[in-house]
Chains A and B, each alone.
Chain A
Amino acid sequence: MIKWFLIFTMMSIYSYAQSAEEIAKKAFLSISGYEGSDAVMTMVLKSAKGVQNKRRLHVLRKEGNSGDKSYIEFLYPKDIKGTKLLSYEVIGADDKQWLYLPELKRIKRISSRNKSGSFVASEFSYEDISSVNYKNYTYKSEVKETIKNGKKYFEITRIPVDKHSGYSKQTIWIDKQNYLIRFGEYYDKHEKLLKKVSFTEYKKVDDIWRVIVIDIFNVQNHKSSKLILEKEKIHQNIANNDVSKRALQ
């Protein structure tokens, strides 16, 4: 009994000793280290009336110390097949983005300042997709331990560093066992709840957790979107050319 009491006490001290940022860093590290990723994703959009629409994307990501580089090619729907988006993440500032429109055969520089804008007409904004690095946020000091559906979570509140973020704050729930983000509530600039996010399914590949399904529900317009990782290869040697303007043409 004394032994269990001591273990419980030590665990409690350990968890309280961790700051919100440390927990967020562990959450980030649990999904990092993939170096290069080659994936196909499906996005299912659902209107408030339940009408569904699909997007299919080929995504290359290359991890970098100063931010990730990503290349997204649209495979479906057919009218935008071949449209490509190149993004260079800049932590805490505006990313650099270029869009290739196959019908016009032009590469367009686009502004990423509007981070709250819809990503391919879904309820995901561009920052929902790209801002996974814990350094993109500051953290409120309080770390709550909560129980949802019988499981224990760290509940922390993070504030986007970028003043142009579409969010005033985000509350996230991180699984105490494996440091995976499971739920999130994102608040708009007026501090009203805007979106509820569930990271529904993860899969461990080569000791790295990869998120397989993300559900997002916009509580203000009642639309929802689901992002499904159909297949992914990690530790891929993604060349600089594969995530450059050359790849867009």
Chain B
Amino acid sequence: MRIIFLIALLNCILLSEENISVKGHVGIEYISYSNAQNDQVVVSKNEFNYKKNDTSFLAKLDFFYSRNFKEKKDIYLNELYVTHRSGDYDFKLGKMLIYWGALEGFNVTDVFNQKNVALDLFDKDEKKGSWSALLTKYNDIGSVELGMKFYEPDNLYFDEESPYYLLPVDYNHNLQVSHSPFSPTFHLKYTFTSESILESDTSIIIQHGYDNKRYFKLKSDDSLTQYAYKVNKILLSNTAIYEDYIFKFEGAYTDVIDDESISDYGQVTLGLEKNFGDIGHFDTTLYVEYYRYLYMDENKIENIDLSEIYDNDIFLATRIVSNDVSSTEMKLGLLYDLKKNETLYKLEGKSKISDDFIAKLEVLHFSHSFENYETLSDHTRVKLSMYYYF
């Protein structure tokens, strides 16, 4: 708790500086699991921005203190980078998060950062910052970006008492790699907006380096560790508008270049978003998405990564927002595996108590047929939270 006070003090000091802006929230989460002991977590997320002329600095410091699970007793300096703008060029250097996808349920193109499974297995956007450099050139229709990720970090995993500890043996968080962990990963991204057939935004990304996926390897001490291998990857993300429909496509093809046991693979995801406008004073949007994996060699290892639970799955969701002073919002989603009958239901709601306080509710139910992950049993998770925003 002393850390919370120190962070709050730092926020107060920095808020008095003219060129610095501070924002974030602090709150408490009460989490009830149907298959594990309940938990209470104190959370503080803080963003510091400093801007002078064409240069800006950003730092994000997240703090978690869980009563019961050690993976949530941590401080993450998840982002720390400098941005310099010069004419049509942007240069970024530091630890950063980058998202390339546009679908709501799962993004095959969000491969820049590793997922931080220890924080929330079911939150696709909970990622770990990566030390990187980016150079972006902007023009009238889009941009060209050259990026380099310097380092592959170790991966923390769940507490053995956690309902999400999936492994039959001990976990060793030291990442094993096919080359040095300092061997860089490069990407080249071309983004453009087009109006030729449909109004659309497109990104094409070529990547060379470590795959975002990992698989588990048994070490000599009988513990499991994650293993990273190198790939060439091409990614495509497209969002197109036709009348009041938004069509989304994300695709990837991965050529595994230094691991004989892993098959090359392709990923295809399709999405449709439609806003129905005001229905009974609630702004209502519907999302339909489909995710598919394609393995090029059936004799090699498949399903090496937890993200591949999104294979032959359909995602249906709705977002309802009340147009009132409380800005009440509700999201209801269903992820259904067409092949294995696995289902994940999730309900998220939030409402303002006052301008600065927000209450949130999340109900999640997961039922599956994993043969390899017996410890992750069918369960329901209910999370009640209250946050103060500053």
B283 contacts A by Cβ under 8 Å: yes
Give Cα distance in the complex from A46 to B243, angstroms.
Answer: 32
List residues of chain A with CB within 8 A of the CB of B241.
109, 111
Structural contact, B246 and A111, CB atoms closer than 8 A: yes
Structural contact, A116 and B278, CB atoms closer than 8 A: yes
B4 to chain A minimum Cβ distance, whole angstroms, is 18
Contact with B along A206-249 (1 / 0, CB 8 A): 00000000000000010100000000000000001100111000
Structural contact, B125 and A104, CB atoms closer than 8 A: yes
A117 contacts B by Cβ under 8 Å: yes
Structural contact, A109 and B244, CB atoms closer than 8 A: no
Structural contact, A114 and B244, CB atoms closer than 8 A: yes
B1 contacts A by Cβ under 8 Å: no
Structural contact, B138 and A51, CB atoms closer than 8 A: no
B218 contacts A by Cβ under 8 Å: no
List residues of chain B with CB within 8 A of the CB of A244.
138
Give Cα distance in the complex from A121 to B283, angstroms.
Answer: 9
Write the chain A residue with the least CB distance to B246.
A111
List residues of chain B with CB within 8 A of the CB of A46.
325
Overall SS of chain B's interface = strand
List residues of chain B with CB within 8 A of the CB of A52.
325
Write the chain A residue with the least CB distance to B283.
A117
List residues of chain B with CB within 8 A of the CB of A105.
97-99
Structural contact, A79 and B275, CB atoms closer than 8 A: no
List residues of chain B with CB within 8 A of the CB of A110.
246
- Partner pick for B389 among A54, A78, A104, CB 8 A cutoff: A78
Write the chain A residue with the least CB distance to B239.
A109
Write the chain A residue with the least CB distance to B100.
A106
Contact with B along A100-124 (1 / 0, CB 8 A): 0000111011110110111001100
B358 contacts A by Cβ under 8 Å: yes
Write the chain A residue with the least CB distance to B355.
A77
B390 contacts A by Cβ under 8 Å: yes
Interface residues in A181-210 (C-beta closer than 8 Å to B) = none
Q: Given the known inter-chain contacts A47-B325, A53-B355, A96-B199, please indicate yes or no for A78 contacting B99, CB distance below 8 A.
A: no
- Partner pick for A82 among B23, B193, B358, CB 8 A cutoff: B23
- Partner pick for B283 among A45, A76, A111, A118, CB 8 A cutoff: A118
- Partner pick for A109 among B23, B99, B201, B281, CB 8 A cutoff: B201
Interface residues in B104-125 (C-beta closer than 8 Å to A) = 125
A249 to chain B minimum Cβ distance, whole angstroms, is 8
B136 to chain A minimum Cβ distance, whole angstroms, is 8
- Partner pick for B90 among A96, A117, A240, A246, CB 8 A cutoff: A246
For chain A, give the interface size range. 35 or more
Write the chain A residue with the least CB distance to B326.
A53
B75 to chain A minimum Cβ distance, whole angstroms, is 19
Write the chain B residue with the least CB distance to A54.
B355
Structural contact, A117 and B389, CB atoms closer than 8 A: no
Write the chain A residue with the least CB distance to B242.
A111
B356 contacts A by Cβ under 8 Å: yes
B289 to chain A minimum Cβ distance, whole angstroms, is 14
- Partner pick for A47 among B88, B98, B142, B324, CB 8 A cutoff: B324
Structural contact, A121 and B99, CB atoms closer than 8 A: no
B112 to chain A minimum Cβ distance, whole angstroms, is 11
A216 to chain B minimum Cβ distance, whole angstroms, is 13
List residues of chain A with CB within 8 A of the CB of B281.
221
Structural contact, B25 and A79, CB atoms closer than 8 A: yes
B385 contacts A by Cβ under 8 Å: no
Write the chain B residue with the least CB distance to A82.
B23
Give Cα distance in the complex from A110 to B193, angstroms.
Answer: 13
List residues of chain A with CB within 8 A of the CB of B355.
53-54, 76-78
Write the chain B residue with the least CB distance to A105.
B99
List residues of chain B with CB within 8 A of the CB of A176.
none
B327 contacts A by Cβ under 8 Å: yes
Q: Top 6 closest A-B pairs, CB basis?
A: A113-B244, A53-B325, A78-B389, A118-B323, A114-B277, A109-B239
A interface list, Cβ under 8 A from B: 45-47, 51-54, 76-79, 81-82, 96, 98, 104-106, 108-111, 113-114, 116-118, 121-122, 164, 221, 223, 240-241, 244-246
Pairs A–B under 8 Å by Cβ, sample size 8? A77-B352, A78-B389, A108-B102, A116-B277, A118-B278, A118-B323, A223-B324, A246-B143
